[in-house]
Amino acid sequence: MKNTIMIIIMVVLAIFGIVMYSKNVELSKEIDLINEEFNEQSLIDSCIKSAYETYIEDWNTACRSLYLGDNCLLPAYKSDRIDTAYKEAQNRCIERYK
């Protein structure tokens, strides 16, 4: 009788261990996926930040070329070109890391 109870307890514990291992593997895969998505988003954010910094530099360079101060109001022929380049850089960031 004691042996039967011990065998039943050992079987139950073994099954419990297998179930817990399986759940742990599932959770580990989900965590890996979340980390991958987070890293991907971080790369996109970093790339877009760099594109924005380039945009600001380009804008201010164009202002100075017209003998104006930084953050000036540019004429459309200059601002359109800079805006387009910025939008294209943002799109490249998204395409590169998605």
3-state SS track over the chain: CHHHHHHHHHHHHHHHHHHHHHHHHHHHHHHHHHHHHHHHHHHHHHHHHHHHHHHHHHHHHHHHHCCCCCCCCCCHHHHHHHHHHHHHHHHHHHHHHC
Q: What are phi and psi of 66, to 5 degrees?
A: -100, 10
Mean pLDDT of 68-83: 97
Q: How do residues 24-62 score in pLDDT, each as one tens digit?
A: 878 888 888 888 888 899 999 999 999 999 999 999 999
| Of 87 and 10, more confident | 87
Q: How do residues 53-68 score in pLDDT, each as one tens digit?
A: 999 999 999 999 999 9
Domains of the chain by residue range: 41-98
Predicted TM-score (pTM) of the model is 0.67
Q: What is the mean pLDDT of the chain?
A: 90
Position 87 confidence tier, pLDDT thresholds 50, 70, 90: very high
Q: Which residues contact 96 (CB under 8 A, 6 or more apart)?
A: 43, 47
* Measured distance CA(88)–CA(30) in Å, rounded: 33
